[in-house]
Chain A
Amino acid sequence: MAPQTTPEVCGMGHSMKRKEDPRFIRGQGNYVDDIQLPGMLYLDIVRSPFAHARIKSIARENALKVPGVLAVITGETLEQYNLHWMPTLMSDTQMVLPTEKVMYQAQEVAAVVATDRYAAADGVEAVEVDYDPLPVVVDPFKALEPDAPVLRTDKEDKKDNHIFHWEVGDRAATQSALAGADVVVKQDLYIPRIHVASIETCGCVADFDRVMGKLKVYMTTQAPHAIRTVLALVAGHVGLSEEKIQVISPDIGGGFGGKVPVYPGYVLAIAASVVVGKPVKWVEDRMENLQADSFARDYHLKAELGATKDGTLTALKIKTVADHGYTDAAANPSKFPAGLFSIVTGSYDLKHAFAEVDGVYTNKPPGGIAYRCSFRVTEAVHTIERLTDIMAHELKMDPADLRLKNFVPADKFPYKSVLGWEYDSGNYHGALRKAMERIGYAELRREQADKRERGELMGIGISSFTEIVGAGPSRQFDILGLKMFDSCEIRVHPTGKATARFGTKSQGQGHETTYAQVLAEELGIPAAHIEIEEGDTDTAPYGLGTYASRSTPTAGAAGAMAARKVRDKAKKIAAYLLEASEDDLEWTPGTFSVKGAPQKSKTIQEIAFAAYTNHPPGMEGGLEAVSYYDPPNLTFPFGSYICVVDIDRGTGEVKIRRFVAVDDCGNIINPMIVDGQIHGGLTMGMAPALLEEISYDENGNISGGSFMDYLVPTAMETPRWETDKTVTPSPHHPQGAKGVGESATVGAPPAIVNAVVDALAHLGVRHIDIPITPEKVWRILKDKGAGL
């Protein structure tokens, strides 16, 4: 779509350079750890070396002798205020500090408050904790066995380690469809535990003013308003009142879902500041971040897909065990314990499906949050895209042909999926055909055949994903009862410039730029003249924050709606100034003019000035509006990705030679930023496919707990991504846009895995669990006698 506004106005479709860059390229960003307040103290945390142990004693005396150490906080300290447990977003409970036992390695055991960060670290070393180790449960399947030790002994009526059962679809009909299918493929998949590992770790500065009773918290949070409400609900009994809590989310160094939850460190810093009456800083180090903050995924799946022998997919059945660690601290909408996993029928017109998920407690850190994806959508997409490829292999069909045969056709949208979603729009055939053309699919297949003759290993993998983002409609979506609308407030100033505030919070997505463009599109005020603010609960309107690709679908839409309210009022003022009827006015971006008499016109800037200096009698002055936008549906971005890999037969190394990503996120606000989001998402899709995993030994000892062995991709492994677009506007979003920040993270892993399996298919390989490390491939090659 060609831009409707001039480059000066810079509405939608312009690759406007980012407004936030001038401070970041000068090192003038303002991240949490950059904040230094007078008299500020530092908090550091004593962590458990055991995955499951009773605490016999905590001796603080030696720590209190360390110069600079002021206090050692334990679970008993917090118990006096009834703050030793806190609720999770899934209405489970999580320890702030333990009073009886620890449940995972690296769990918080005590906190030390000191005058500087070195003294706090010394204090941590000097706290002596005596533990009595308990049996450790690492494997979620063993956790479900009848004789497994019950982990949550704090819950009086809890007799096992089962958290929840969730299911969707018609079990009997699906089983019967599978029984009647010509071909059924079955596959177990494990989608391992990983960590978002934003380059900025989590932290906060809590600043309690004893005189005024006001708490100000600078915090690495993606959802400042929700956090404020949670703080008021959890700590109301100790005197924190919501109007006196200000949560400020300053510049955030990447979020990806990891900065949605409330971690014990935040609560400890706040509690310490309230007790001491001084500002307290807590910033975790990388190992704490990887070992204790919320993990993502950890889904064990059993999947079955049925088809007719000519390749019509008929039925899908999935059984999942979800390892949640010791508490269910996922960050899903409340009614969705398995997130939006029910998008698992993907891009295919399946008539029968059934999915179930059982959540399980183990001795691991809590989580089940996103890793740059909308609530378990990656797990769903990985499953259906792997199974589709396995089916293609079974049917000896080209995986592209099988997809093209089964896609929901473009004329069937809005499409009601068998698991209950109404897909708003799509053109799956268009995206896959474009990707095939761009990469030269037929030619690549010929090259592959030649190479196979010569014994060289080359694979081509496709992923045609459908996402579900923009939570969401308040009839279904809430977090702890808070409806998931989002908001924008616009103030147009007398000189025609504007300030707008939103309920979301950018962590690198570029909202200061894209929201300005959203408003410029609607108002004709140059984006350069629109200042965007987010992340301060004292000033921004209430919203549920930025995650799950929801900012554009919810807050962006609120921006458009608020701008339209402004424009409605501007029209009345223009009619008054032009002595014309409103019905006789027409709008071109930035100007109302009289139909048929274009010389009689008023610019939005002239109208703004009049709103404060010469507004119509009987009308309130000023030019402001606010919108709380409750989307009627989610948005369903989609795309087709094709990956080409070459495999080194000597080392097992997988090299991504080419990767073409065709994305459709509806109408595009800023093409440059969308491409950047896709590049980053693809890299975070490649990461778990080839590199990243957090695993545990039988004693609950973590591996992958530092950047020594948690392998975040560098520039060396990351290929030069190739991107392209199709545009299928969302029919219900006011500007036809969809979320895009996570599409690529969701879509990329199966494209890569499908390519690797395709390279090895002639050796009898049908599936490889991620991450596909060189060692895994090397072992396969050795087993198959195909190595060098």
Chain B
Amino acid sequence: MAKHDVRITVNGEPREAAVESRLLLVHWLRDVLRLTGTHIGCDTTHCGACTVLLDGEPVKSCTVLAVQADGREVATVEGLEQDGTLHPLQEGFQQEHGLQCGFCTPGMLMTGRALLEGNSDPSEAEIRQAISGNLCRCTGYVNIVKSIEHAAAKLRQESA
């Protein structure tokens, strides 16, 4: 099968690889780069466990080919913590009990990050709308909403 040379920046680090045409971005991240924080929960782009940011936009990486990310920037959960400091979202999820089994959490965090980068003070309805493509079977979403609100408040405080 044909291979393509790609250059993809992952969490700020430039990567070069030769990938098969059909290789999914999520498999490249997980199986090749061994960034296993991005999970796979369905085959139909519904569950959002595989959500990463592609040039800042949340995408389901199970429905993106690795070649489609050529020349672009990918952000995964592994890049959230900076210099030993947790991202406010990570802190929010821990403080507000926004996770249980942890499987949907990386996708929720990345969706939350994209939301907060465009909206520093989202309403509950806006948060629910934003995460409506990310399924969680454990928490009932109440504490996920609180976790994102926690992070939003902290980010506003930091930028004030």
- Residues of A contacting B30 with CB < 8 Å? 33-34
Cβ A712 vs Cβ B137 within 8 A: yes
Q: Is the CB of A676 within 8 A of B97?
A: yes
Which of B34, B81, B103 is the one whose CB lies under 8 Å from A36? B34
**Residue from A23, A251, A673 within 8 A of B97 (CB atoms):** A673
The reply to whether the CB of B47 lies closer than 8 angstroms to some CB of chain A is yes
Comparing B2-10, B66-74, B86-94, B152-160, the segment that makes contact with chain A is: B86-94
How many Å from the CB of A489 to the closest CB on chain B?
Answer: 25
Q: Are A679 and B143 in contact (CB under 8 A)?
A: yes
Contact assessment for A26 and B102 in the assembled complex, using a CB-CB cutoff below 8 Å: no
Give Cα A507 to B99, complex, Å.
12
A287 to chain B: which residues have CB within 8 Å? Answer: 43
Contacting residues of chain B (27-42) with chain A, CB-CB under 8 angstroms? 27, 30-31, 34-42
CA distance A481 to B10 in the complex (A): 52
Beta-carbon contact of B43 and A253 below 8 Å? no
Q: Are B139 and A680 in contact (CB under 8 A)?
A: yes
User: How long is the Cα–Cα vector from A715 to B147 in the complex, in angstroms?
Assistant: 14
Taking a contact as CB atoms under 8 Å apart, the answer to whether B31 and A36 are in contact is yes
Note all chain B residues with C-beta closer than 8 A to A36: 31, 34
In the complex, what distance in Å separates the CA atom of A200 from the CA atom of B138? 11
Provide the residues of chain B in CB contact with A595, threshold 8 Å: none
Tally B residues with Cβ within 8 Å of A: 59
For B128, what are the chain A residues with a Cβ–Cβ distance below 8 Å? 715-716
Q: A253-B102, A253-B103, A672-B97 are in contact. Are A28 and B140 (CB under 8 A)?
A: no
Nearest-Cβ distance from residue A562 to partner chain B, whole angstroms: 26
The residues of B that contact A252 with a CB separation of less than 8 Å are 101
Is the Cβ of A199 less than 8 Å from the Cβ of B47? Answer: yes
A712-B137, A718-B140, A721-B142 known; A24 and B40 CB under 8 Å? no
Residues of A within 8 A of B132 (CB): 714-716
Contact with B along A675-698 (1 / 0, CB 8 A): 110011111100000000000000
Q: Give Cα A716 to B77, complex, Å.
A: 24
Please report the total number of A residues contacting B with Cβ < 8 Å: 56
Contacts of B137 in A (CB 8 A): 196-199, 254, 256, 680, 683-684, 712
Could you tell me the distance between the alpha carbons of A256 and B42 in the complex, rounded to whole angstroms? 17
Q: Does B53 contact A (CB under 8 A)?
A: no
Across-interface contacts of B99 in A (CB, < 8 A): 21, 24-25
Q: In whole angstroms, how far apart are the Cα atoms of A708 and B140 in the complex?
A: 20
Q: Mark A587-609, 1 if CB is under 8 A from B, else 0.
A: 00000000000000000000000
B128-148 contacts to A, CB under 8 A, are 128-129, 131-145
Partner pick for A715 among B38, B47, B138, B141, CB 8 A cutoff:
B141
Complex CA–CA separation, A197 to B136 (angstroms): 10
In this complex, the member of A28, A34, A714 whose beta carbon has the largest number of chain B beta carbons within 10 angstroms is A714
Interface positions, chain A 493-508, Cβ under 8 Å from B, are: 507-508
Do A25 and B100 have beta carbons less than 8 Å apart? no
In the complex, per-residue mask of A393-408: 1 if CB is within 8 Å of any chain B CB, else 0: 0000000000000000
Complex Cα spacing A750 to B147, Å = 30
Q: Contacts of A199 on B, CB cut-off 8 Å?
A: 39, 41, 47, 49, 101, 103-104, 135-137
CA distance A676 to B144 in the complex (A): 10
Given contacts A17-B94, A25-B109, A680-B137, contact A200 B39 (CB under 8 A): yes
Report how far A676 CA is from B34 CA in the complex, Å.
31
In the complex, whether B121 has a CB less than 8 A from a CB of chain A is no
CA distance A681 to B140 in the complex (A): 8
A564 interface residue per 8 A CB criterion: no
Taking CB atoms, residues of chain B closer than 8 Å to A655 are none
In angstroms, how far is the closest chain A Cβ from the Cβ of B11?
11
Interface 1/0 per residue, A440-460 and B, CB below 8 Å: 000000000000000000000
Q: A26-B78, A26-B80, A712-B135 are in contact. Are A286 and B43 (CB under 8 A)?
A: yes
Interface residue? A285 (CB, 8 A): yes
Known: A17-B94, A508-B100, A708-B46. A25 touches B39 (CB 8 A): no
List CB contacts (< 8 Å) of A12-46 with chain B. 17-18, 20-29, 31, 33-34, 36
Q: Which residues of A contact B105 (CB under 8 A)?
A: 24-25
Query: In this complex, what residue of A is CB-closest to B93?
Result: A25
**Interface: B57 (CB within 8 A):** no
- Say whether A312 faces chain B, with CB atoms less than 8 Å apart: no
Indicate if the CB atoms of A715 and B93 lie closer than 8 Å: no
| In the complex, per-residue mask of A353-390: 1 if CB is within 8 Å of any chain B CB, else 0 | 00000000000000000000000000000000000000
CB closest residue in chain A, given B104: A199
**B66 to A: closest C-beta gap in Å:** 12
Q: Are A679 and B142 also in contact (CB < 8 A) when A25-B109, A26-B90, A707-B44 are? A: yes
Q: Are B90 and A25 in contact (CB under 8 A)?
A: yes
**B15 to chain A: which residues have CB within 8 Å?**
none
B43 with A24: CB separation less than 8 A? no
Flag if B94 contacts A21 (CB, 8 Å): yes
Question: Is B58 positioned at the interface, with any CB of A under 8 Å from its CB?
Answer: no
Docked complex Cα distance between A523 and B65 (Å) = 54
Q: Is the CB of B101 within 8 A of A507?
A: yes
* A26 partner residues in chain B, CB cutoff 8 A: 37, 77-78, 80-81, 90
Instruction: Name the CB-closest residue of B to A252.
Output: B101
Residues of B within 8 A of A706 (CB): 42-44
For A175, the chain B residues whose CB sits under 8 A away are none
A635 interface residue per 8 A CB criterion: no
Write the chain B residue with the least CB distance to A22.
B94
Chain B residue at minimal CB-CB distance from A708: B44
| Contact residue among A200, A507, A676 (Cβ-Cβ distance under 8 Å from B41) | A200
The answer to the question of B76 belonging to the interface, with a C-beta cut-off of 8 Å to chain A, is yes
Hey, which chain B residues are within 8 Å of A309, CB to CB? Answer: none
Asked if B46 contacts A200 (CB within 8 A), the reply is no
Among A22, A33, A509, A715, the one with the most B-chain Cβ atoms within 10 Å of its Cβ is A715
Shortest A741–chain B CB gap in Å is 10
Does A784 touch B at the CB level, under 8 Å? Answer: no
Q: Is there a chain B Cβ closer than 8 Å to A117's Cβ?
A: yes
Chain A 258-297: CB-based contact to B (< 8 A → 1; otherwise 0):
0000000000000000000000000001110000000000
Cβ contacts A to B, 13 pairs, < 8 Å:
A23-B102, A25-B86, A31-B39, A33-B30, A199-B104, A254-B103, A254-B138, A673-B97, A683-B140, A706-B44, A712-B135, A714-B131, A715-B127
Q: Known A-B contacts: A254-B100, A714-B132, A716-B129. Give 4 more (CB < 8 A).
A: A253-B41, A287-B43, A508-B103, A706-B43
- B contact residues vs A (CB 8 Å cutoff): 20, 22-23, 27, 30-31, 34-44, 46-47, 49, 76-78, 80-81, 86, 90, 93-95, 97, 99-106, 109, 124, 127-129, 131-145
Interface residues of A (CB under 8 A from B): 17-18, 20-29, 31, 33-34, 36, 117-118, 196-201, 251-254, 256, 285-287, 507-510, 672-673, 675-676, 679-684, 706-708, 712, 714-716, 718, 720-721
